Structure 1
Amino acid sequence: MVKAVVAGASGGIGQPLSLLLKTCPLISELSLYDVVNTPGVAADLSHISSPAVVKGYVPTDFKDAAQSAASMKEAFTGADIIIIPAGVPRKPGMTRDDLFKINAGIVKGLITAVAETCPKAFILIISNPVNSTVPIAAEVLKAKGVFDPKRLFGVTTLDVVRAETFVAGIVGEKNPGKLTIPVIGGHSGETIVPLISQAKPSVNIAGEELDKLTYRIQFGGDEVVKAKDGAGSATLSMAYAGYRFAEKVIKAVSGESGIVEPSFVYLPGIEGGEEIHKLTGCDFFSVPIELGPSGAQKAINVVKSANDYEKKLLEACYKGLNGNIAKGVEFARA
């Protein structure tokens, strides 16, 4: 059985994500950590009749760094998988990059605790901007001497979920989950590149309709922020996407084979990744990943099969993504 930790469990993503994780029969212990309200969230979830035992943790004393660290250490110790949605949400007019300074600091602190308490855990980062927070995590883990590229994932599943949903709406597929659509690159704006040409089963979308679809997948988050009229961002769909990826990692680690899902990973450290690294020029990139007992078992090169339309999207992606990665590395090393 599995101990799962949600760091940022009281937030707009953290609470529905924790609810979904509580329903997973493979999880035996669910540890919830946040700066406020986690004992209450844990008590609420603990009444649900599923196997996971739920505990909530908060810093015991904000004025005492040692006591606060002890609370986090207790929450993280023994974790098999840690999902990190911690951070502030986007507001109208705010890009993911605007969130950088606040969320980068939060992620750096959490990953430091992970490195010191549960360095073998699988780490799933949701905190935006993912294009920068994942490189930050990698640098922190490297500095602590515990970096394993196979165990660090940036969760880009929401882009995949959106692609499935939006394409299904166009082609008339009643169950979007029946579609498989690779969405690669990063997790913000033009760094998100849907490979509609590689959809399975194949679909015929072209011209202006393809342009509109691509834009909607790339900027779907803005659609939610606007619809919520300043009251939040994509929390429920992100919680679903986070759970979907976490469940696949847990199933793969538990021995189920043939599980593939795109994720933002450190390419040079994963089988098949070096070839993609040479094509893209990016150290970190989201591609379909075959998951296994050790985590990221193999990176699948769908980049080489991109058509001319998608290659133009990829050129913009590489430029923007490399800037985001460099910003994260610089922050971590400062």
Structure 2
Amino acid sequence: MSKQWYKRIEVDMWMTKAHMATMGIRQQDQYRAQSRQYTANMEVKGDITFYAYSPEDLNKPFKERKRPVKVLDYKEIVGYNKGFWDYDDKKSSIYRQAEKSAEDYDPAEYAKLLRRLVIKTFSELKRDKKKKGHAGRWRGTMEESVVLGINAMFGENRGKPRPYFFLNLPGYNYRLALWRTNTIIGDRYVFTVPHPKTGELTTFRIKGRRFTPGKDFKVFNAETGEKVAEIDDRKLNIGGRMTIRFRGEEQFEDLNRSTVFRRTLIMFAIMVKFLRPINRKYRRLYRGLKKKKKYLKALNRAKKTQDTAKVDAVKLKYQDVQRECKMLKAIEVTNSELTLHFNPRRIRT
């Protein structure tokens, strides 16, 4: 439980790098010095601003409180691992991996299918006069699992993207899972939080609002059906600003003080800004993997004719299709993804 109760949190994703958190030659090195979580491939992409009630207002009934005010002495920054995301950078991890399969695929196209989202948040690198010591500290990680995303896409409503994410939060010993579930219309995500002492589970449902200009969501306690928060996408904001609003009534105070619940919503709001290319990737993966079925049928028909020229024509046709990544022999993941799925209880030799 946190001492702070934030009524509103704003996540601002930038279109340009001309911001205070990214200025200065030594900024990257300073962040890396403060936390090992800030790796060499991290790049600052946005910031997070917090709004809270004054101590005087917290003692008043909910309806008598004034509007929450901006917290001036604390801010966070958003970073993403560009080595796993920037497919057009020939020095990135995914492009180098795509080059290993250059005999089968065009590396420039194949790298697009290997991208994986890894985002992290850190307290802003700004030491205040009181020296609270929170400058540059790691505050949370969200990693996309392509393995489970593919698994859900083939197993549920086939062909529709089902991105799957793991969250790792400081001070919390358990890995949280957040994923998109099967719906006929709209978006719906779920995550379940285990209580670290009692093991009691609480499940939350994030439901997309339809017929709105941006990507707006409502957050519900899945067991009681109560709306506990909402996430508003300011569509007309340059770059993209997401506003998280928490219920302010007294019965929601404990939930609002939960750092796990709060940080899960922050990471979700950041992820939404990357959601369109993620969904596009899964659609391409599904079509490419399913294309093998057509290829094998055409190849078997050609072989039955015992005409070598027809067999070669089929192979040549689908070789060009595969080169463009419209057909995939298989999809591979990086070692960074594989380590997400290590079995901690495996028998070691």
TM-score range, shorter chain: under 0.3
Q: As a proportion of its length, which structure holds more strand?
A: 2
Q: As a proportion of its length, which structure holds more helix?
A: 1
TM-score of the aligned structures, taking structure 2 as reference length:
0.26
Q: Which has the larger radius of gyration?
A: 2
